[in-house]
Amino acid sequence: MKQGVLAGRTDGLRSAERRRLDQLCHRRHPADAVADRLTLQRLAEEARRLEQPLTLVVDGRGLCRLLWIGDLETSGRLLERLSGPARRQGSGLRLLTCAGNARQPQLRPGPQEGIVGLDLDPLLWLRFPCQPGAGGQWNAALLQPTPASEQAWGVQHQGDLVDLCALDPAGLPAPEMPEGASRRRGPPSSDQPPSPAPARGREGVLLLVRSGGDPGVERRRIAELEGLVRSAGAEPLGLVAQRSGGGAAATLWGEGKLREAALEARRLGASLVVTDRELTPVQARNLERLLDLPVSDRSELILDIFAQRAASAAGRLQVELAQLRYRLPRLSGRGLSLSRQGGGIGTRGPGETQLEKDRRAIARRIERLQRDVRALGEHRARLRQGRRGERRMALVGYTNAGKSSLLNALTGAAAGEGVLAENRLFATLDPTTRRVSLGVSAATAATSGGDRALLVTDTVGFIEDLPPPLVEAFRSTLEEALDADALLLVVDLSDPAWPEQLQSVHRLLDQLGAALPRLVIGNQIDRCHAGELERAGALVPGMVFISATARLGLRHLCELLSRWPAPDAGGEDSPVPASEG
């Protein structure tokens, strides 16, 4: 019964060559030895005839599961061939590779081959040239995975092929594993403690970043990226950083650093790599090819978070439009494999590929979504038209700054009854408008010329370098803020990066053309020291200090909002005088 299959560079094989290779797949190897010597000699003859490396994948029972022709380039194609129940696959895979010749034996795998070998999770890897050397000595090397080292594979034994074939695999030393990692991940480095395995049901992520600027800014940027990963439901397991200025334009990171990232991902058990820089479609494909893992950039990560948070039909509509706009230039398909040929002059040839059909279908979907988003914008404009007679203010600010918590505190909503407020990034996507009673008496309002109530709208949070597809798709949502009478900018004073976050919010509002009075509200005063309050007051004169969760400073804020902004306030920032703030 045939056990293994042929795969790899099989195009152009003659019938006789294919028949001989099939016969090699029939041969069984002893369970108490590394390999059958006669089978390896025949494998070497075929490698010499084809002038191609040949690799046998043998399971613990000695059955050949796969014969791969050519270099091991990507693990996905090999793992597809090895798919099936564990009983059929067997355990303790062995890789037997014939590569190179007597003068130039390739006893060590190349960088990409080493990564693919780790993904196959073998117990050992026997490598030997296609012919013996002078004096009949047939050099060979028996390797085992060592992901913690730069080489990824360490030589356990080196000598004559006949001697190595007779070794018992059960007698080989097993590498020590960090707790929670699979056997192939290898031991941790001596100066780095083992990282915890991802929690059950959570995807493990390796962060790939470029550094070189201010260390404090870089730390905050990495911390924000880790927060985004956790908000997406994954777990950041490790970090690989390269100083800016290195690397090629095609990948942004150097080849050596990418090799280090590939090994680190396998050591930690990460199944996804997330970069801190936006990638072009070509760069993303190059990184996935070199890392042999799925790669997402920061923009795609934010889009995924928005897709998870979208609860309403309007939110899902806008998120789908943003995702399709992002993915359309990154779409890849089968090329000519699903092409349609026509008949007649001018229609022959490859025809229309499946990739072209997919792109056209996505373009039609984008066009329809754009019409729906325009209709949504018109609907929201009519709703805003009905509120023209009342004062309206919009809560804006960096994500997770406490905008929803402040709206719940102003409306007096009980726990679980107000707007969703959670300690995670982008917890709120859809704009929510509530009537807020300012709690001032009619006499006080008449004396100060203010109001007793107003409408406050909670909007989606901002973030540094918000992806352009999201800004365009959520324009109707952001217009809720632009159509208000004034903007309330909420900042989290317990975050050391709040000044930079405030600048990012100001920049994005300026890009959207928001020429409205702006009042900066410093939140979380119960979680920061007094020195930070003095620093905030000096950096932003007129900042109002509150704590939405502890309900501190809300009465003063309501009194201030009853008379702010002044009727003659222009489009510039309208800070509150220090005597009033």
Res. 207 pLDDT band, cuts 50 70 90: very high
User: How many structural domains does the chain have?
Assistant: 3
pTM of the model: 0.76
- Which stretch of 4-13, 369-378, 469-478 has the lowest confidence by average pLDDT? 469-478
Q: How far apart are CA 38 and CA 515, in angstroms?
A: 82
**Judgement on whether residues 476 and 539 belong to the same structural domain of the protein:** yes
Res. 195 pLDDT band, cuts 50 70 90: very low
Of the candidates 236, 265, 296, which is a domain's last residue?
296
**Judgement on whether residues 122 and 170 belong to the same structural domain of the protein:** yes
Q: How far apart are CA 29 and CA 333, in angstroms?
A: 39
CA neighbor of 494 nearest in space, from 551, 553, 556, 536 = 536
- Give residue 157's domain range: 5-185
**Judgement on whether residues 11 and 75 belong to the same structural domain of the protein:** yes
Residue percentage of the chain with pLDDT more than 70 = 82
**Judgement on whether residues 513 and 557 belong to the same structural domain of the protein:** yes
Does 5 have pLDDT greater than 90? no
Structure letter (DSSP) for residue 572: S
Question: Positive or negative CA dihedral for 563, 567, 573, 579?
Answer: negative
Query: Which residue shows structure tokens 């600027």?
Result: 213
Note whether residue 161 is domain-resident.
yes
- Note the pLDDT of residue 352: 56
Q: What is the pLDDT of residues 100-129, one digit of tens each?
A: 876 777 888 888 888 888 888 889 999 999
Inter-CA distances, 228 with 203, 349, 523, Å: 13, 47, 21
CA 334 from centre of chain: 24
Note whether residue 577 is domain-resident.
no
**Judgement on whether residues 63 and 122 belong to the same structural domain of the protein:** yes
Which residues touch 44 (CB under 8 Å, ≥6 apart)? Answer: 98, 128, 129, 130, 131
Note whether residue 211 is domain-resident.
yes
Res. 572 pLDDT band, cuts 50 70 90: very low
DSSP β-bridge partners for residue 234: 203
What is the CATH number for 240?
A: 3.40.50.11060
Q: How far apart are CA 580 and CA 556, in angstroms?
A: 10
Q: What is the pLDDT of residues 273-308, one digit of tens each?
A: 999 988 998 999 999 988 989 999 998 998 888 888
Which residues touch 295 (CB under 8 Å, ≥6 apart)? Answer: 208, 272, 273, 274, 275, 279, 284, 287, 288
**Judgement on whether residues 177 and 271 belong to the same structural domain of the protein:** no
**Judgement on whether residues 146 and 61 belong to the same structural domain of the protein:** yes
CA neighbor of 279 nearest in space, from 219, 227, 209 = 209
Note whether residue 578 is domain-resident.
no
Residue 96: enclosing H or E segment and its boundaries?
strand 94-98
